[in-house]
Amino acid sequence: MDNAATSFPKPAGVLAAMTRYATELGASAGRGAYHEAIETGHLIATCRRRLNTLFNGQDANHFVFTLNCSDALNLAIKGVLLARNSQPATRNSVPHAICTHIDHNSILRPLGHLEDDGAIAVTRVPCDGVGLVSPDEVREAIRPETKLVAITHASNVTGTVQPIREIGRVCRERGVALVVDAAQSAGHIPVDVQADFIDLLAAPGHKALLGPLGTGFLYIRPGLEKTLRPLREGGTGSVSENDRQPEFMPDKFEPGSHNAIGIAGLSEGVQWVIDQGIEKLAAHDLDLVRTFIEGCSDVEGLTYFGPPGVRNRLGVFSVRVEGLEPYELAAILESSYGILTRPGLHCAPLAHAAIGTTQFGGTTRFSFSPFLTKQDVKFATDALAEVAATRVAV
C-alpha cells in the first residue's frame, strides 16, 4: 500500500514489452536506418499517441519524455520563468510565480532555488486544514508580473484533489501559464488538458500509469514550445548537420538517446489504463476510499487527515495512531500484518505543516492501486483499529 511512491504490481504487458525490447530490438531510435532502430522509433511514437489519447492533448508530439515527474516539473518551471520573454511587467521587479502549501518538493524546490538566486519572486498560497486550495486565493495572488502558477493536482500526503479546472480557468483568463503536477492523479482520475485549461502537465510513468521507474513526461500546450526554454541540449538524431538544438517538437526538449526500454513498458501501462477506462478506475479508487474511511471512523486513538469524506480526494491516506511515531507504526504494520506503507514527511513540508503533523515527524501513508481490493483495504483498516486499541489499552 505504497503506490503513491511507485505502483506494484504492474500489468503483465508492461514486463512483456520491456522484455521484447531487450531481447529483440535493443536499438536507439533515430540512430540507424535498420529495422530495429526504426521499430524502436515506432514504439516511442505509439506511447506519445496513447498519452495524447488519455489526456486529450492537442498533438502527440507535444508529450516530451523525461526522467520522471521532478525532471518534467523542472523543465516546465524553469523553462517558463527563465525564458527570454519572461521579463516582468514592471522595471524594478522580477518574474513572479505562485505555488501552494499543498505542493510537493518537486515544485517547491525549483521555485525556492530560483527565489534564493534572486531570479524570481514567489507567493505560496495557503490551503485549508484538509489540503484544499481556493481558486479565489490564487486569483488574488496574481500580479502583472506573474508568469506561472504551479500546483499539485492531488496531494501525496492527504489525497486532496484540487479544483484544477477552476484554477485553470482563472489562469487562462489572466494569461498566466498553469503547470500541473499530476504525479498522484494521472491514471487514477480523469485529467483533460484542454477542458482543465492546463498549459503544462507533468507526470511520472511509474505510479498510476503503471510503467517502470525512470520514465515520465511533460505535455506542452501547442504554442508554448516557442518560448519555453530547454534545460539541456544535445544529440537528437535529427538535423545532425546543425550544431544548434532543433526548434521542432519533440526534439527541442529531448536531447540524447531515449529510455526506450522504459518507454516501451510505459506505453503498455498507459494502454492498460485506456483499456480499463479511466472512469472505471476512478470509480474503483472511490470504492477503496469509502472502505478506508468507513474502517477508520470512530476508532479511538486513530486519526486520518485530508477531506473527511469521499469528495475532493483519492486513495492516499495519511494516518496517526496516538502514541506511535510514524516509523514505529509502519514497522508494526509490516512485521505483524505484512502491510507496506510510507512513514515520514513525504517530501511535502508545507503540507504537513498545514495539517499539523510536522511536530510528530509526519504520518504513516497508505496509497492504493487498481490491483487492490476492498477486502485488502478492510484488512488494513482492521489492522489499524487493532493497533490503535492496543495503544489505548496501554
pLDDT digits (tens, 9 = 90+) for 163-213: 999 999 999 999 999 999 999 999 999 999 999 999 999 999 999 999 999
Q: Are 159 and 197 members of one domain?
A: yes
The reply to whether 2 falls in a domain is no
Q: Are 263 and 284 members of one domain?
A: no
Q: What is the CATH number of the domain that holds 375?
A: 3.90.1150.10
Mean pLDDT calculated for residue range 128-146:
97
Integer Cα distance of 19 and 212 in angstroms? 12
The reply to whether 3 falls in a domain is no
Q: Which DSSP category does 320 fall into?
A: E
The reply to whether 93 falls in a domain is yes
Question: Alpha carbon 33 to chain centroid distance?
Answer: 36
Q: What is the CATH number of the domain that holds 39?
A: 3.40.640.10
Check residue 391 and give its pLDDT.
81
The reply to whether 5 falls in a domain is no
Check residue 84 and give its pLDDT.
76
Residue 318 has pLDDT above 90, yes or no: yes
Check residue 79 and give its pLDDT.
98
Residue 91 has pLDDT above 70, yes or no: no
291: pLDDT confidence band, cut at 50, 70 and 90?
very high
The reply to whether 7 falls in a domain is no
Q: Mind listing the pLDDT tens digit for each residue in 24-64?
A: 999 999 898 999 999 999 999 999 999 999 999 999 999 99
Check residue 93 and give its pLDDT.
85
Q: What are phi and psi of 157, to 5 degrees?
A: -105, -50
393: pLDDT confidence band, cut at 50, 70 and 90?
low
Q: Are 179 and 267 members of one domain?
A: yes
Q: Report yes or no: 121 and 97 within 8 Å, Cβ to Cβ.
A: yes
The reply to whether 4 falls in a domain is no
Residue that terminates a domain, selected from 251, 276, 301: 276
Residue 88 has pLDDT above 70, yes or no: no
Residue that terminates a domain, selected from 276, 311, 328: 276
Q: Mind listing the pLDDT tens digit for each residue in 227-284?
A: 999 999 999 999 999 999 999 999 999 999 999 999 999 999 999 999 999 999 999 9
Q: Are 257 and 322 members of one domain?
A: no
Q: Are 199 and 285 members of one domain?
A: no
Q: Are 145 and 105 members of one domain?
A: yes
The reply to whether 31 falls in a domain is yes
Integer Cα distance of 195 and 303 in angstroms? 36
Quote the domain boundaries for residue 381.
Answer: 278-393
Check residue 178 and give its pLDDT.
98
Q: Are 243 and 287 members of one domain?
A: no
* SS3 per residue for 33-102: CCHHHHHHHHHHHHHHHHHHHHHCCCCHHHEEEECCHHHHHHHHHHHHHCCCCCCCCCCCCCCEEEEECC
Mean pLDDT calculated for residue range 329-350:
98
Q: Are 226 and 244 members of one domain?
A: yes
- Please report how many Cα atoms fall inside a 13 Å half-sphere around the Cα of residue 247, on the Cβ side: 4
Q: Are 272 and 330 members of one domain?
A: no
Residue that terminates a domain, selected from 239, 261, 276: 276
Q: Are 315 and 271 members of one domain?
A: no
Residue 394 has pLDDT above 70, yes or no: no
Question: Alpha carbon 325 to chain centroid distance?
Answer: 27
Check residue 226 and give its pLDDT.
96
Q: Mind listing the pLDDT tens digit for each residue in 142-154?
A: 999 999 999 999 9
Q: Which of 38-52, 85-99, 221-235, 317-331 shows the lowest per-residue confidence on average (mean pLDDT)?
A: 85-99
Residue 133 has pLDDT above 80, yes or no: yes
87: pLDDT confidence band, cut at 50, 70 and 90?
low
Residue 338: how many CB atoms within 10 A of its CB?
A: 9
Q: Are 152 and 266 members of one domain?
A: yes
Q: What residues contact 12, with CB distance under 8 A and at least 6 apart?
A: none
The reply to whether 323 falls in a domain is yes
Q: Are 66 and 39 members of one domain?
A: yes
| Structural domains in the chain (count) | 2
What's the mean pLDDT when you consider all of the chain? 96
